[in-house]
Amino acid sequence: MKKRICLGIVLVLGITLLMGCSSGNDETTKVTSDRGETVANDVSDEKVTVKVLQFKTELSEQMVAMAEEYMKEHPNVNLQIESVISNDYDTVLKTRFASGQAPDIFNNQGHSNMQLWLENLEDLSDQPWVDDMLEFTKEAITSDGKIYGMPLYLESYGFLYNKDYFEQAGITEVPVTLTGLAEAIEKLEAAGFKVFSINGAEWYPNGVFLANVPMAQQEDSTAFINQINDGTATFIDNEIYNDWMDMVDLMKSHAASDPMSVDFSTVVSDFSNGQVAMILGTNGYQLMIDEVNPDLNIGMMPMPINDDAQFNDNIYVSASTYWCVNKNSASKEAAKEFLDWLVTSEIGQRYITEDFGFIPGLKSIEINEYAVGPLGMDTLMYIKAGKTAGWEWPKYLDGVTIEFGGAIQKFYAGELDKAGVLENFQASWEDLKDN
Q: In this model, does residue 97 exceed pLDDT 80?
A: yes
Say which amino acid occupies 151: P
Bridge pairing between strands 28-30 and 48-54? unpaired
| Mean pLDDT, rounded, for 339-365 | 92
8 Å CB contact between 272 and 289: yes
Residues of the chain with pLDDT > 90, as a percent, come to: 74
Q: In this model, does residue 284 exceed pLDDT 90?
A: no
Q: In this model, does residue 8 exceed pLDDT 50?
A: no
pLDDT at 379: 83
Residues of the chain with pLDDT > 70, as a percent, come to: 89
Q: Which stretch of DSSP H or E encloses residue 10? A: helix 7-13
Q: Which of 1-15, 65-79, 318-332, 420-434 has the lowest mean pLDDT?
A: 1-15
Global confidence as pTM: 0.76
Q: In this model, does residue 341 exceed pLDDT 60?
A: yes
CA angle 225, 400, 246 (to 5 degrees): 75
Other CB atoms closer than 10 Å to residue 257's CB: what's the count? 16
Q: Give 75: exposed, middle or buried? Use CB within 10 Å, 0-12, 13-18, 19+.
A: exposed
Q: In this model, does residue 30 exceed pLDDT 60?
A: no
Rg of the chain in Å (alpha carbons): 21
Q: In this model, does residue 300 exceed pLDDT 90?
A: yes
Output the average pLDDT for the chain. Answer: 89
pLDDT at 45: 53
Q: In this model, does residue 41 exceed pLDDT 60?
A: no
For 116-173, write each residue's pLDDT tens digit: 999 999 999 999 999 999 888 999 999 999 999 999 888 899 999 999 999 999 999 9
Question: Backbone phi, then psi, for 278, in 5-degree steps?
Answer: -145, 150
Q: In this model, does residue 407 exceed pLDDT 90?
A: yes
Q: Which domains are delineated in the chain?
A: 7-155+319-373 (3.40.190.10), 156-316+389-434 (3.40.190.10)
pLDDT greater at residue 24 or residue 176: 176
Residue of 302, 317, 323 whose CA lies nearest to 392: 317
Q: In this model, does residue 40 exceed pLDDT 90?
A: no
Q: In this model, does residue 24 exceed pLDDT 60?
A: no
pLDDT at 96: 97
